Structure 1
């Protein structure tokens, strides 16, 4: 798929694009059917909620699950990002966020690039998030909230929140959030929240400030978040485990468009468990590690 001039202009202005029903019900079912088995595994790549056993985030499903390995190579997801960057991309991070009914906790206001810069030493914001709904998303089950145009501020000041939830995040101060919302239109569009059926897709800029509230509804809100980075912009530090911040900078090679419902072979290197190397971290910059080797 190719983005239109209007879509490119909207992305530049607002920092995101929304594609309702981008994947068919059959394609979406191929993904949702694999989630319970992934969530049931007692491995490091499943981060659970602070006060319950519900999975908050599953990392690296594309390394262990055939449907998600196919999604990671899907042209409807990869090609628009590649077009926006004008170069090949690699998978920096792959998450399945489980905002489970009654138990899904908040995601505080943040920019994803803030974490990638501070923790991973990603040189610039030439990385993109792709969110794909695996459940219908409505106003009650904790939808994403964006501040349109906030990506134009670049990297904003953030603090490392280690206590609010079970997953640490570089979060944005409330006073700055209020300023950004007012600048974006206040009560008239200063916060937007794309909602739609399972299979919908959002592309959003890595500097777009976003959040989501807790899920107090009886409906799950499970979504896949794929973070694609321009190959030339790969991370320079391995402070976080490989299952969180990937170290394979090979450009993504797309599969055919029908890959989610047709039998195409894919490599699953962690099918039988993560290697010990996936847990190894280092505070040293990547270039220093390479020279030492």
Structure 2
């Protein structure tokens, strides 16, 4: 899958691209059938909501779940990012974000690169997210909200919020959000929330300011996120556990396009449990590599 000139120009302008129904219901079914099994496991990779115990985020499923290991190598997700960066990418983070019906909590306004810079010492914003909707996303079940063009502002001042939710985040204050939204168009496009059917795909810049509200609807809103980083831009510090910020900088090798419907063999190094060394962290800066 290659982006057109018009799509690249749109990405440069807005900071995101939306591809409705890019994956078929049959392809997505192989993933949704696996999610309850992952959420039911007592693993450190499952981060739960403060209230109710519903899974907020499942990390690193591509290391112990065959369907998600295949998704992590899908050319529809990987090749557009390689095209934009002009080089190979590695998996910086892999997560399944669950906004369960009635229980899904907020994600505050933030830039992903703010966290990757402050916590992981990722040198530049040569990383981005690619997301797939495992459920229909509508106006009621907590869709992602973007401030179009906010990625062009670079890294913004942020505070480390460790209290609002069960997952700490570097967040942007309300006054700055208000100013950015007004400059982006206010009520006429200053905030956008892409919505669509199961199998839709989002690609968005790591500096794009985004958030999502709680899900009070009776419909789940579960999405998978691949955070792909240019290999030359790998993180320089292992402050966070490995299932949140990966330490394998090997370039992703894509599988064929039918990989969600065929049982291609994939490595599952954490299938029998999370290795103890994955929980070890360090505040020391890694030596630069050539």
TM value normalised by structure 2: 0.99
* TM-superposed deviation, 1:114: 0.1
- Tell me, in whole angstroms, the C-alpha distance in 1 between the residues paired with 2:81 and 2:233: 14
- Counterpart residue number, 1:3: 3
Gaps of 5+ in 2: none
* TM-superposed deviation, 1:131: 1.0
- Tell me, in whole angstroms, the C-alpha distance in 2 between the residues paired with 1:168 and 1:50: 12
* TM-superposed deviation, 1:18: 0.1
TM value normalised by structure 1: 0.98
- Counterpart residue number, 1:170: 170
1:108 alignment partner, SS class:
strand
- Tell me, in whole angstroms, the C-alpha distance in 2 between the residues paired with 1:30 and 1:148: 33
How do 1:131-142 residues align onto structure 2 when only pairs under 5 Å count? 131-142=131-142
- Counterpart residue number, 2:97: 97
- Counterpart residue number, 1:272: 272
* Structure 1 residues 160-184: Cα deviation after superposition (integer angstroms, max 9, x where no partner): 0000000000000100000110110
* TM-superposed deviation, 1:43: 1.0
2:287 alignment partner, SS class:
helix
How do 1:69-108 residues align onto structure 2 when only pairs under 5 Å count? 69-108=69-108
* TM-superposed deviation, 1:263: 1.6
* Structure 1 residues 162-207: Cα deviation after superposition (integer angstroms, max 9, x where no partner): 0000000000010000011011000000000000001000000000
- Tell me, in whole angstroms, the C-alpha distance in 1 between the residues paired with 2:22 and 2:80: 13
- Tell me, in whole angstroms, the C-alpha distance in 1 between the residues paired with 2:220 and 2:263: 29
- Tell me, in whole angstroms, the C-alpha distance in 2 between the residues paired with 1:131 and 1:208: 14
- Tell me, in whole angstroms, the C-alpha distance in 2 between the residues paired with 1:207 and 1:59: 21
* TM-superposed deviation, 1:287: 1.6
- Counterpart residue number, 2:219: 219
- Tell me, in whole angstroms, the C-alpha distance in 1 between the residues paired with 2:55 and 2:17: 27
- Tell me, in whole angstroms, the C-alpha distance in 1 between the residues paired with 2:263 and 2:42: 28
Aligned-CA RMSD value:
0.9
* TM-superposed deviation, 1:286: 1.4
- Tell me, in whole angstroms, the C-alpha distance in 1 between the residues paired with 2:231 and 2:150: 25
Q: How many residues align?
A: 289
Q: Does 1:262 align with 2:258?
A: no
- Counterpart residue number, 2:210: 210
Q: Does 1:244 align with 2:244?
A: yes
- Counterpart residue number, 1:184: 184
